[in-house]
Structure 1
Amino acid sequence: MDTEELVRKCQAIVLKEEKEDTITVMGKMREAGEEIAANCLVGKILLTRGVNREGLRAAMQQAWRTVKEVKIESMGENTFLFKFASEGEKKRVLMGGPWHFDRALLVLSELTGIGDIKEQSFTHTSFWVQIHNIPIMCMVREIIQKLGEKIGEVEEIETDATGECIGQFARIRISINITHPLKKVVFLQEAGAKIPMPVLYEKLPEFCFCCAKIGHQYRECLKYKGQTKENMPYGGWMRAITPIERMKLA
């Protein structure tokens, strides 16, 4: 019996003259809770099978390289609470993502409200995104900002020491709604010409080659009809990355 089913059964029990016992979280109780939550992140691993906590702990400790060990508690359904020794380490991990476990995306977020796990949102993750084939005259911050907004919420645009964005590609950190298909290309309209600009995602985990969504494999996709990976809409996506770009993704 899972936790949600147990809660439903308990709520269905009605006793005669039963009083509703309620505790109001306020004052020192709330302050103590907020102090604990300040160094915590909650995360969900987008895998359809269960995740072993000890395996996750070992993998994340190696990836994050924190000074002190991160405490990890399972909250059920591949959701985990990560307690850091300091808020600084928590922020560094949160901003250093996206992170993976067993080639699946680990969606991390800060606790919201009073930390009710059922109310936490695991719909957005920040990626460094590359937009290629941008005309030189369009490599200005304002245009790159607009291009990034077609993909998600722009958090940061990489520039050189002079503040310019000119280069082989534009590199933008974007908060992306992972419940939607990943964008493969954005377009620029200029003097009647429509210029396609490929979009590449750094540290992209395994995703569905049928629907371009993160969180399941193509064999689990409702759109999968037995075709080979190469014949799927997004099957050859990552092959467009050059060896130099692969070094950036490592």
Structure 2
Amino acid sequence: MSVDKFLTEKNINVRAMKSKMADIWRPARGINIKEIKTGLFLFQFYHKDDMQWVVKGGPWSFDGAILVFNTVGNGEDPTKVLLNEVEFWIQIYDLPVGYMSESIGKQLGNFFGTFVQYDSSNNKSIWREFMRIRIKVDVRRPLKRKKKICKKDKSDVIVHCKYEKLGDLCFVCGLLTHTERFCSKRSTAESESVNKEWGSWLRAPPRRAGGSSRSKWLREEDDGDWGNKIDGGTNNEKFSGFQKSDLVQRRDNSNQESAFFSFDGADTNNSEMAKLAMQASQSK
């Protein structure tokens, strides 16, 4: 069982929230959600694996509001359980070459929050754009955005942080507990223009893009046995719907077909090139 609250100044539609969270999580044994007082909920799972899946898959949000939760022990008063921390996967960009190790990740994790886990599976790419680590964030403090690193050659570099599954936050003070509209710092500012040091750029892009299915001709970096995957694991003449003779014929015609493509980005007159290729073909 866990006690939960949403970080928001808005009123939560409790009925909609219950259905939405249950539909997202789909616990095998079901879930019971009860509001014990305004804005504070008890989430009762009927199997420990269901609860662990939710804990590891967070953060979660409803209507943009981040969900903060903590476990409740036997005989413990749920209204007195601290709800001050939430875990995020973060992506750290602009790291120098040689600074992608787990030891560096622990140091950075303990700067941006409290280090929890290093994503070693993010190391498989031939080129890593960012380091990925999981941290615990204190929601009473502003989100950290960047850090200056001093390299061995005494030069400095600034690395930037993005948060996965980041919900609403205040662009004025950087807190997760409210949006700019409800920020007291903004309401007490003397000038109309308030400096916003946080923004939507703190949200990390989705790690898996949606859309149509991947082309079977597109290789990933770890597709070591790609040839067998394409021809179905057999050595016969059939090659994914084409005959090998078709591939040979295509290579023979590659010189003529290449006249229709520009690989250097130059502006070419395709219609004129098509006419020339047609005339050359008819003259044979």
> TM-score, structure 1 length as denominator?
0.75
1:111 correspondence with 2:111: no
Would you say the 8 A contact 1:69–1:85 is kept in 2?
yes
Distance 2:63 2:122 in 1: 37
Percent of paired sites with the same residue: 27
Would you say the 8 A contact 2:59–2:88 is kept in 1?
yes
**Equivalent residue number for residue 160 of structure 2:** 198
1:227 correspondence with 2:193: yes
1:54 to 7, 12, 15: 15
1:95-244 superposed matches below 5 A: 95-112=56-73, 114-160=75-121, 167-190=128-151, 191-224=153-186, 225=189, 226-227=192-193, 232-235=196-199, 237-238=201-202
Task: Quickly say closer, same or farther: Cα 1:164–1:149, change in 2 above 3 A.
Answer: farther
**Equivalent residue number for residue 24 of structure 1:** none
Q: How many residues align?
A: 205
Which deviates further from its counterpart, 79-88 or 51-60?
51-60
* Deviations, residues 173-227 of structure 1 (Å, cap 9, x unaligned): 1111111000010221113222100100000011000010001111211221443
**Equivalent residue number for residue 15 of structure 1:** none
Larger Rg: 2
Instruction: Point out where structure 1 has 5 or more consecutive residues left out of the alignment.
Output: 1-39
Give the secondary structure class of the aligned counterpart of 1:196: strand
Offset, 1:58: 0.5
Distance 1:196 1:143 in 2: 14
Distance 1:168 1:162 in 2: 10
Would you say the 8 A contact 1:50–1:77 is kept in 2?
no
**Equivalent residue number for residue 206 of structure 2:** 246
Q: CA RMSD in A?
A: 2.5
> Which amino acid counterpart does residue 166 of structure 2 have in structure 1?
L
Instruction: Point out where structure 2 has 5 or more consecutive residues left out of the alignment.
Output: 211-284
